[in-house]
Amino acid sequence: MNTGVSVISIQICPKIGHRERNLNKVKELIEQNLHLKPDLIVLPEFFNTGVSSVEFKKLAESENDSPTIHFLSEIARKYNTYILTGSIVEKDGDKLYNTSRLLDRRGEIIAKYRKINLFDSFGGTENDYISYGKNYAVAQTDFGKIGLATCFDIRFPRHFMELINRGAEIIVLPAAWVMPHEQIAIGTDNWKILNRARALDNISYFISSDLCGKIDSSMGLCGHSMIVDPTGKILADAGENEGIASAVLDMNIVREMRNQFDIKRFTGLME
């Protein structure tokens, strides 16, 4: 099993309602950074639609008819990389879900996660149009196990305890960390603290991929997609603008630290 894992976290400012434009922006950033030979690419929450309840409903994609997944599967196959597909609004019957998928190097779906902790606090209304997910998701890759979470999940430590109990060594978290413009500074500070805390709490690599830029005249996105190691050290930070965060993960660090400390005892999940 490989111990050096090249990771790219993509950060974009999506154009609301312009799926093709947003997909091509992602492709452009990936192709600009192929020299990094990524093993894993992580995309943001709602990256293909932008943050808009109207566009969520208009551009929702079904499991068997997803232009976004088809597009990303081709990239995964072409460049021999795993891709965490950000999150995409999924239509299932009369319900919508905020859904992430992990693609393997062949472009096949190996994990699917519907967001459990919807942004239904602090004025958030995601639950008005998105249904709650129920199941945790962890997938085996050729370099270790990856656990899936999305945005507001970051505020719920129990979520990550469950992922660790299922063997996750890397946690991926697509996000659209939204704040009023006048609160962007404090929102960004909170975001950074939470990224580092979840890595340190769980002795895992923590990879977030956030949107950036403005939504409208009142709301903005914090950016600062991050890669954090199991000691809480920030290995990479994408800053405020479109771009990437990249790092090479040494999986031996996770395994050696967990050999010295019983993570299940810490999380209260021992049998």
Residue-wise pLDDT for 6-65, tens only, equals 999 999 999 999 999 999 999 999 999 999 999 999 999 999 999 999 999 999 999 889
Closest CA to 165 of 143, 185, 147, 189: 147
The answer to whether 45 is a known catalytic residue is yes
Which one of 13, 151, 212, 222 is the catalytic residue? 151
Q: How many domains is the chain built from?
A: 1
CB 7 within 8 A of CB 246: yes
Give alpha helix (H) positions in the chain: 19-32, 53-58, 67-79, 157-165, 184-202, 251-260, 263-267
- Indicate the pTM of the whole model: 0.95
When pLDDT is cut at 50, 70 and 90, the band that residue 122 belongs to is confident
The answer to whether 115 is a known catalytic residue is yes
Residue-wise pLDDT for 239-248, tens only, equals 999 999 999 9
Which one of 115, 126, 145, 212 is the catalytic residue? 115
Q: Kindly state the percentage of the chain with pLDDT values over 90.
A: 88
The answer to whether 13 is a known catalytic residue is no
Residue 248 belongs to domain with CATH number = 3.60.110.10
Residue-wise pLDDT for 84-98, tens only, equals 999 999 999 999 999
Domain that holds residue 12: 4-267
